[in-house]
Structure 1
Amino acid sequence: MPKAYAFTEHGGPEVETFLDLPKPDPGPGQLLVAVRAAGVNPVDWKLRAGKRRPGQGPLTGPEALGSEVAGVVAAVGPGVEGFAVGDPVFGNPVAGGYTEYTLIPTDIAAHKPDALSYTDAATLAVAAATAYDGVRQLDLPAGSTLLVAGAGGGVGVAATQIAVHFGLRVVGTASAGKKEFVESLGATHVARGPQLPERIRESVPGGRVDGIFDLVGGPDLAGVAELLDDRTKLVTVAAKDTVAELGGVPVARARTAAVLDEVALLAVAGVLRPHVTATYPLDRADEALREVEGGHARGKIVIEVSG
């Protein structure tokens, strides 16, 4: 049976384990995919800790970790059109991603361009697509100033590059150690720490920003929100339950194949560089997730399942 890195109940890292799980059968509108690579994201450990997706039922047995994969179609379910066995694809799995086989619904799957590696493609369905959705949602005109709070992580790296491509001036907050990295993305770096709003104000023309893409949340968010004239131009993935108090909104995820196609084109064009900074084999999936859960990963971490 296929190997998977899964969790058996909600909790901390102690509930994670390697298991042999049955190979799933694709249902209507689904692809069975032989996984080549799986992206690692904060949402993975948050789901393990007990955060369930909207409409997702309670945990009834072991669940493989992972929310984005790239691989090869091994079988197609009833009614599937536009995909065939042997097609390279990437997307959001419904049966986890840290595994040798998984299922992807066709409405959140896309063909992998030949010019894009499986490792890079595995970074697009969560981080890059979230970044694309958020920047599009803000809809700022070229020349505007966008603050990306948390520019050094997976979503922040993608959001910064996409925003620069759209002609925005980007200010990115990240740890002091990520200064050179953030600046290489085309952003002005501001180190996180005391007096953050004041230091951001000093780094932007007029001391104001036109939009905020928040990936951090926490106590600093209220202070940096004061730099906005229009609070509706505050979107977040980290403070969904509290952002309304500041006048902002969560990022509205499109979760469509069309968005996956768009970010893949940006990656092929060199506009969006995934910045995979570390890869791990499947038998070290626990180490990969610890690196992301620790909050200090730079760019993207990927589990390479097969060659």
Structure 2
Amino acid sequence: MSKALGYKAFGDASVQVFFDRQVPVPGPAEVLVRVEAAGVNPLDHKLRAGHVSAMNGHLPFPQVLGMEAAGTVLAVGEDVTGLAVGDRVTGFALTGAGTYAETTLLLGTSTARIPDALPATWAATIPVAGTTALDVLDQLGLPAGASLLVNGIGGGVGIALAQLARDRGLVVTGTASTAKRDLVTATGATFVDYTEGDVAQRLRAQAPDGFDAVADTVGGDSLREIAPLGRTVISVGDPSVTEVGGVAVERRVDRAGLERVAELMVAGKLDPHITGTYPLARADEALALVESLHARGKLVIDLGL
């Protein structure tokens, strides 16, 4: 049996439940992994709430929370290549199989080996935050010296964006709450506090000609407020960005992207800025903090605690 945190129906945190499940058996294109660490993301509570029913509306309950993990391969499906039992890996879970668990199934083509020097807690942040930031910057294709505004720079994706953009020679400005000032400025980005009045007006004062691009991690009204400031607008979580003339990030979710982010971490170019680690027994607390929008940087569930 394997312990997990999941949900028994769509809804708020009250539908979450810790339970034991059978150790899953990998299908032909899957790998079974003993989870060492799992990243916590806004997508996790959105899936639980039923807001992304295209991904999990057809799946039976209980479903397990979490979409990204690092761990050790226990079994490999017959169609999976390049991975073997005993490999340390990071990757994307099957929707519903989850990663807030002692064991889980990862997609073979979306799982990559990780360097020995990379801690599991860091590796667990690669699939969602790390590769999303990479995809955004690759899609924008901005030249060195270009200006980038990151809306919601204080979360996991935003902090990764700030560092990878800096590495490409971009000039980065980011909006976040007061509590995230030190975290943001540590990346070299210019911090703008969205809690201090009209943020769009203050951004215009700082950049009268606007920004070469806006990368949005927040969506909703916040996106609509700052979208006019960017000559190009891209969002990582709000498909309605097209209504303001922008585009949604095109996610690749492949092994090559995972390997690229792992290499950037080992090279010292990307620090996930993990601000909290939680044992599996307290995974619900970690998700509640992310759902509150008050989480700084990245939160990780560490099954070694």
Which bin holds the TM-score, normalised by the shorter protein? over 0.9
TM-score normalised over the length of structure 1: 0.95
- RMSD of the alignment, in Å? 1.3
Matches within 5 A, 1:135-284: 135-193=137-195, 194-204=197-207, 206-228=208-230, 230=231, 233-240=232-239, 242-284=240-282
The residue number in structure 2 matching 1:29 is: 29
Q: Structure 2 CA distance, aligned partners of 1:2 and 1:111?
A: 23
Unaligned runs of 5+ in 2: none
SS of alignment partner, residue 146 of structure 1: strand
Whichever residue aligns with residue 102 of structure 1, its letter is: T
Q: CA deviation at 1:223?
A: 3.1
Q: Structure 1 CA distance, aligned partners of 2:82 and 2:129?
A: 25
Q: Structure 2 CA distance, aligned partners of 1:60 and 1:79?
A: 25
User: Greater shift after overlay, 73-82 or 294-303?
Assistant: 73-82
The residue number in structure 1 matching 2:64 is: 64
Q: In structure 2, do the counterparts of structure 1 residues 53 and 34 end up closer, same or farther at CA, with 3 Å as the change threshold?
A: farther
Whichever residue aligns with residue 204 of structure 2, its letter is: R
Q: CA deviation at 1:53?
A: 6.0
Q: CA deviation at 1:55?
A: 5.5
Please give the per-residue CA displacement for 1:109-152, whole angstroms capped at 9, x wherever unaligned. 01011111001100110111111111111111110000000000
Contact 1:196–1:220 (CA under 8 A) maintained in structure 2: no
Whichever residue aligns with residue 10 of structure 2, its letter is: H
Please give the per-residue CA displacement for 1:202-238, whole angstroms capped at 9, x wherever unaligned. 223x44100000011232323322223x3xx200123
Q: Structure 1 CA distance, aligned partners of 2:162 and 2:259?
A: 19
Contact 2:80–2:109 (CA under 8 A) maintained in structure 1: no
SS of alignment partner, residue 82 of structure 2: coil
SS of alignment partner, residue 46 of structure 2: helix
Q: Structure 2 CA distance, aligned partners of 1:246 and 1:45?
A: 26
Q: CA deviation at 1:190?
A: 0.5
Q: CA deviation at 1:77?
A: 1.2
Whichever residue aligns with residue 60 of structure 1, its letter is: P
Q: CA deviation at 1:81?
A: 2.0
Contact 2:214–2:229 (CA under 8 A) maintained in structure 1: no
Q: CA deviation at 1:59?
A: 3.3
Q: CA deviation at 1:35?
A: 0.3
- Whether 1:118 and 2:120 are equivalent positions in the alignment is yes
Whichever residue aligns with residue 235 of structure 1, its letter is: I
> Structure 1 stretches (4+) deviating beyond 4 angstroms?
53-57
